[in-house]
């Protein structure tokens, strides 16, 4: 165990968190997981242990419980933190904004205060492309660069913007001290090839790919495609789907980048888009899914969904150049891993 760096992963049993934990172990890190299991189960920890081949330290703790979280810092020597834990349902956030502001922001405050107190200075923060809002309203912003003005259109997105701002303010307050990477994800899809971890939302999923998976398994009758009257190659909306395993590797790349800054005694707070850099229409994803599944699943075209926009594709040059990261997998790979 000695010599390995220890990463505290909040939300470590979640969809992106669990895939990142696997990549961290593969790259020689040790992890401590903190999760309140609000949207996941302790079975995930067991599956992760099977995958990485060793026991993983896990705390069932809510980040809003500062005393509980402090115990984690007191009992362990932590080198860096990756912060995923967050409420993340866009629609729900519009219905219960107070809960979203309280939980997401308090969690970040508690974490950062404890990091300061215990002198842990390296943090990778899970943000979202939702911070850009409707980038199609701004001329020349598709594909979306990190410099695109922010304009979240829902409370969930606003909490991400506030935490990003907090990180910048903290960095400015002591320019040499903190090393912050803000990762803005586009549409993560797919699963680890082992089939042991993956996206398992409780209830009816909102997102396209988990929804198709439930149609395939017979839980839902058919897919509804929200609009085929967009000005795109087949009329359906374009998104940037990035394989979750590629996304997970992006966290290791960001962590390495921050560690290098730390070695050079430099501070930083910077954002990187993590997407595939390629846009796919809903029908293209549908076709890729049916191909991987081996037969066509039923669908119908319905009206546009409220709040949807025509095209959200990432410009990923900054991550490719600075983090030395490049997505290796595509939508077809993601559908295949998911069907498995």
As annotated, the active-site residues are 156
Beta strands 280-281; 238-239: pairing state: antiparallel
Stretch of residues binding ligand UD1 (CB under 6 A), selected from 53-61, 175-183, 218-226, 250-258: 218-226
Distance CA(322)–CA(11), nearest Å, equals 26
Among positive and negative, which fits the CA dihedral 56, 16, 86, 183? positive
282 binds ligand UD1 (CB under 6 A): yes
Distance CA(302)–CA(290), nearest Å, equals 19
**Contact indicator for 48, 23 with CB cutoff of 8 Å:** no
Task: List the one residue from 6, 207, 214, 287 that touches ligand UD1 (CB under 6 A).
Answer: 207
118 binds ligand UD1 (CB under 6 A): no
> Which residue, 12, 30, 34, 125, is CA-closest to 77?
30
Nearer to ligand UD1, 48 or 225 (CB): 225
103 binds ligand UD1 (CB under 6 A): no
Quote the least distance from Cβ 340 to ligand UD1, whole Å. 20
Task: List the one residue from 171, 192, 239, 270 that touches ligand UD1 (CB under 6 A).
Answer: 239
222 binds ligand UD1 (CB under 6 A): no
Distance CA(121)–CA(115), nearest Å, equals 7
x/- mask, ligand UD1, residues 30-69, rule CB under 6 A, reads: ----------------------------------------
x/- mask, ligand UD1, residues 300-339, rule CB under 6 A, reads: -----x-xx-------------------------------
Residue with tokens 């058919």: 222
Task: Take residue 95 and report the two structure tokens written for it.
Answer: 């219905």
Measuring CA to CA, how many Å separate 329 from each of 20, 73, 275, 277? 16, 36, 11, 12
Residues making contact with ligand UD1 (CB under 6 A): 90, 128, 130, 187, 206-208, 211, 223-226, 237, 239, 282, 305, 307-308
């Amino acid at each position: 165990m000695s010599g390995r760096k220890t990463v505290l992963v909040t939300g470590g049993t979640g969809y992106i968190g669990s895939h990142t934990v696997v990549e961290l172990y593969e790259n020689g890190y040790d992890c401590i997981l903190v999760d309140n299991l609000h949207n996941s189960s302790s079975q995930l920890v067991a599956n992760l242990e099977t995958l990485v081949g060793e026991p993983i330290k896990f705390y069932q703790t809510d980040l809003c419980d500062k005393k509980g979280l402090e115990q984690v810092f007191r009992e362990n020597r932590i080198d860096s933190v990756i912060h995923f834990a967050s409420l993340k349902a866009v629609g729900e956030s519009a219905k219960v904004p107070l809960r979203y502001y309280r939980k997401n922001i308090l969690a970040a405050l508690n974490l950062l205060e404890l990091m300061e107190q215990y002198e842990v200075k390296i943090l990778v923060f899970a943000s979202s492309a939702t911070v850009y809002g409707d980038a199609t309203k701004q001329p020349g912003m598709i594909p979306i660069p990190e410099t695109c003005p922010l304009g979240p259109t829902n409370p969930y997105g606003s909490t991400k913007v506030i935490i990003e701002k907090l990180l910048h303010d903290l960095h400015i307050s002591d320019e040499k001290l903190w090393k912050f990477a803000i990762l803005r994800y586009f549409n993560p899809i797919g699963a680890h090839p082992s089939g042991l971890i993956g996206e398992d939302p409780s209830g009816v999923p909102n997102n396209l790919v988990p929804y198709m998976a439930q149609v395939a398994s017979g839980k839902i009758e058919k897919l509804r495609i929200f609009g085929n009257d967009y000005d795109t190659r087949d009329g359906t909306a374009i998104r940037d789907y990035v394989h979750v395993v590629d996304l997970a590797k992006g966290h290791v790349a960001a962590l390495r980048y921050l560690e290098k800054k730390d070695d050079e005694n430099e501070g930083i707070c910077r954002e990187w888009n993590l997407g595939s850099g390629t846009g796919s229409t809903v029908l293209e994803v549908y076709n890729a899914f049916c191909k991987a599944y081996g037969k066509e699943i039923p669908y119908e075209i319905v009206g546009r969904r409220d709040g949807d926009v025509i095209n959200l594709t990432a410009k990923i040059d900054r991550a490719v150049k600075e983090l030395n990261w490049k997505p290796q997998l595509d939508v077809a790979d993601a559908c295949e891993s998911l069907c498995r």
